[in-house]
Amino acid sequence: MKVPFHIVQARRERLAQLLGQHRYLPVKELCRRLGVSEATARRDLAALLGEKKIKRTHGGALSEFNDRFPSFRDRQGRAAQAKAKIARATVALMEPNGTYFLDSGTTIFAVAEMFCNRPVTPVTVVTSNLPVAEMLAAIPDVQVFMVAGQLLHLQSTLLGETAQKSLEFWKFDTAFLSAEAMNPAGVWNSQAAIVDQQRVVLERSRRTVFCIDGSKLNREAPHFLVSWDRVDVLVTDVSAERIEKAGITLKDGQRAPAGGRHPTAQALPVPESASVAEAERDEIPVYIL
């Protein structure tokens, strides 16, 4: 039975709205939300593409994310001091012979910059972050691999279903991840494609470290990523007092005192380096959840 054109039109308008709201959605997710087959979804996408209302990606649709969302370079300068402090504490969590994932956030780029100053080698790094890969590949005894996805040049990252599939070849000792928001419910991010990729990484990591500065506290981004019980370590410039006041509940006995380091932080496997002393001096809370 042929579907009346006004119904098709309404469905396509709904599809365009979804893409405008979420920036990126895989085809399977579009099918689920609209209750249509993949063939129908692809026809609708093609029609919207012809009207120049969307941009296509392999396995999904990207709606001006690369152009409308602040670029990597624009975001780099935000909360720079907090990111530098977080980076010092984060590098102290790395040790030789590890396999690490570094994601696409600018806080993770700050971690990579700090790593360059005090490298912990040999290590293997897998990343979706182009500037991080270029920087770390120049360090002796650091093997760098990139995920195989669609390049978003303004965001300096690789995303999409192909990127997610390429991650399935890896298992990580630690994943270092960033986010756009944290609140009592957990950790949030700005784009569905980023969340999808991070969830694959979470499933393939022995330990997860989230690096989130205080500007993200008590906020909610468009896409929920993970609850606190799935986070192993939170490195942040936010004091324990502010974390508690925000309504974020960490496990008893594992919360850093206000203005200080976590009482069991010495139990973490960290290399002996100046970065540890600097992290102590800057009083960066490291929450072991």
pLDDT in tens, 91-105: 999 999 999 999 988
CA-based nearest residue to 14, from 65, 50, 57, 54? 54
Give the per-residue pLDDT at 255: 36
| Mean pLDDT calculated for residue range 9-25 | 80
Give the per-residue pLDDT at 269: 36
Question: CA–CA separation, 252 vs 55, rounded Å?
Answer: 47
Helix (H, G, I), strand (E, B) or coil at 164: helix
For residue 256, pLDDT over 80 is answered with no
Domain 73-288 carries which CATH code? 3.40.50.1360
Domain 5-63 carries which CATH code? 1.10.10.10
| Mean pLDDT calculated for residue range 63-85 | 62
Give the per-residue pLDDT at 289: 54
Question: CA–CA separation, 113 vs 49, rounded Å?
Answer: 39
Give the per-residue pLDDT at 192: 83
Task: Write the Ramachandran bin of 186: left for phi over 0, alpha for psi from -120 to 50, otherwise beta.
Answer: left
Which regions of the chain carry the CATH code 3.40.50.1360?
Answer: 73-288
Which regions of the chain carry the CATH code 1.10.10.10?
Answer: 5-63
* Of 112 and 287, the one with more pLDDT: 112
* Of 78 and 144, the one with more pLDDT: 144
Give the per-residue pLDDT at 22: 67
| Mean pLDDT calculated for residue range 247-275 | 44
Q: How confident is the model at residue 254 (pLDDT cuts 50, 70, 90)?
A: very low
